[in-house]
Amino acid sequence: MNIAGNMTAGTEEILTPEALEFLYCLHDQFNGRRKALLENRRHRQLRFDAGEKPDFLDDTKHIREGDWTVAPIPADLQDRRVEITGPVDRKMIINALNSGAKAFMADFEDATSPTWSNMIEGQVNIKDAVRKTIEFHQLSNGKTYRLNEETAVLLVRTRGLHLDENHVLIDKEPMAGAFFDFGLYLFHNAAALLARNTGPYFYLPKLESHLEARLWNDVFVFAQQKLGIPNGTIKATMLIETIPAAFEMDEMLYELRDHAAGLNCGRWDYIFSFLKRLHKQHDVILPERGQVTMLAPFMRAYTQLCIQTCHKRNAFAMGGMAAQIPIRHNPEANEEAFRKVAEDKRRETLDGHDGTWVAHPGLVPVALAEFDKHMPTPNQLHRKREDVHVTASDLLEVPEGSITEEGFRMNIHVGVQYIASWLNGNGAVPINHLMEDAATAEISRSQVWQWIRHPEAKLIDGREITIDLFKTVFNEEMENLKTLVGEKEYRLGHYKEAGELFAELTLNDEFEEFLTIPGYGKLQ
């Protein structure tokens, strides 16, 4: 085992010989299966490229129709009405745990750029958070941050199965980022969590099939056995944020039934996955990003099916993230942003979701108000939503809408800006008063890729969206960014590299699976 990352602060505390041995075992047992499952994704993509549409599986019909439920879910996860999410930054962890939300998802994924120091410091930070010793002193305002007496329940989201951790090589092969994040959090904290009457709770991102859920279940069983903790102690909430997963929700819960705490509607990656998996299909052109809302029929179909599926199995159906964040110094715009968040949360609670996500502490009261008003019980498992009837074609219904030049420009502008921030080690940023993270940036770059290739995609004024138009607008937007941030920040802030990556992703005829894969090569 070779640690190629430098000995950043906290490395010795986290990468102890015992922890490394545990990581080694996880890799040894499961990396081959992980790689085979990633290969399955590639094969399935070839079928989608040939025109196949996702559909419910024939050979798992008995599971969808069977009468089973997930194992009981622990007391401290029964009421998850508002969960705050955020990167594994020290101050933000403290602020999130103190925010008044019921739970906090510490995110090694969409909201975090996977630099080695972010990954190691993140582990140190959550370890201190579990033990309630976490503190942060901010020099700029002289403020010391500490945890309140009462804090949110901690959940950890690992990286997706597709990302390697290049700083840990085992037999010259990088280990999976997902197993690195999972293994270290579990190894260092399982006992401390159980001693505090909580448990090792995870969010699992970007899963595409029940076989991937089965892999995680086997990882959990193995890890619990190795650490001597009872089977079923780990609880995981799987994100339904890929289009193939929407067709396997029952099966995924079934595979993980001893460890499942629910499903979450990860709307941003879901839209990205819809674009990605069906990128060759000419009848699947989405309107510009701002028009693909939760009210689009295909998004309604997916969230309602998720609620129905979860409640049938006694698992929680979590809502997703509204992109609006507080807008300081502009009360009117702030009020409008809060109104949109409240509306989103009201729809979720009325539909039957058991809780939701917010991106900012300022939004906790907004979401709480809606859930408190419309959900007097800790959750809505009793609402079985037997009235919901969702078919495969409902899940695949392409929404109506248009593409404006502004929307086209915005995708380029926001995409490049986000990638620059990510290359600087910051995975969640406010742009134009909206939260941007890896999932939203993926939508931006995918839309541009698709529009310049499909003659069916036209600007609302009738112009074709050609490669030449992209090149012109791209150059203009790079100049606009230079003006916006200034020459120095443009140079030091990785804007040029971000632009190069965006253009590379767009102009490459092969649709890149994730922007973070080539991006990771540039992070070192």
Ligand X SMILES: CC(=O)SCCNC(=O)CCNC(=O)[C@H](O)C(C)(C)COP(=O)(O)OP(=O)(O)OC[C@H]1O[C@@H](n2cnc3c(N)ncnc32)[C@H](O)[C@@H]1OP(=O)(O)O
| Closest by Cα among 523, 325, 332 to 429 | 325
Closest approach, Cβ 269 to ligand X, in A, equals 6
Q: Confirm or reject binding of residue 91 to ligand X (CB under 6 A).
A: yes
CA distance 185 to 177: 12
**β-bridge partners, 164:** 176
Of the candidates 110, 164, 354, 442, which one interacts with Mg ion according to CB under 5 A? 110
Q: Confirm or reject binding of residue 477 to ligand LL5AMS7Z (CB under 6 A).
A: no
Sites for ligand LL5AMS7Z among residues 325-364 (CB under 6 A): none
Of the candidates 95, 166, 291, 480, which one interacts with ligand X according to CB under 6 A? 95
* Rg, the chain, Cα only: 22
Q: In the complex with ligand LL5AMS7Z, which residue's Cβ is closer, 88 or 229?
A: 88
| Closest by Cα among 205, 277, 201 to 240 | 205
Binding mask 416-455 for ligand X (x = CB under 6 A): ------------xxx----x-x-x----------------
Q: Quick check: 379 and 314 in contact, CB under 8 A?
A: no
Q: Confirm or reject binding of residue 96 to ligand X (CB under 6 A).
A: yes
CA distance 448 to 433: 22
CA distance 178 to 290: 31
**β-bridge partners, 137:** 144
Stretch that binds ligand LL5AMS7Z, among 51-59, 161-169, 263-271, 291-299 (CB under 6 A): 263-271
10 Å Cβ neighbour count for 47?
12
Q: Quick check: 173 and 164 in contact, CB under 8 A?
A: no
* Annotation marks residue 351 as catalytic: no
Stretch that binds ligand LL5AMS7Z, among 261-269, 452-460, 486-494, 512-520 (CB under 6 A): 261-269
Stretch that binds ligand X, among 29-37, 79-87, 215-223, 483-491 (CB under 6 A): 79-87
Binder of residue 428, out of ligand X, ligand LL5AMS7Z, Mg ion, none (CB less than 5 to 8 A by kind): ligand X
For the chain, the first-to-last Cα distance in angstroms comes to: 19
Distance from CA of residue 283 to its chain's centroid?
Answer: 27
* Annotation marks residue 67 as catalytic: no
Q: Confirm or reject binding of residue 111 to ligand X (CB under 6 A).
A: yes
CB closest to ligand X, residue no: 86
**Helix/strand/coil (H/E/C) assignment for every residue in 307-324:** HHHHHHCCCEEEEEECCE
Q: Confirm or reject binding of residue 266 to ligand LL5AMS7Z (CB under 6 A).
A: yes
Of the candidates 11, 31, 45, 85, which one interacts with ligand X according to CB under 6 A? 85
Sites for Mg ion among residues 436-495 (CB under 5 A): 439
List Cβ neighbours of 146 (8 Å cut-off, separation of 6 or more): 94, 134, 135
Q: Confirm or reject binding of residue 255 to ligand LL5AMS7Z (CB under 6 A).
A: no
Strand 103-107 relative to strand 82-87: parallel, antiparallel, unpaired? parallel
Residues forming the active site = 157, 437
Which residues would be at the binding site for Mg ion (CB under 5 A)? 110, 241, 266, 269, 439
Which residues would be at the binding site for ligand LL5AMS7Z (CB under 6 A)? 110, 239, 241, 266-269, 320-321, 439
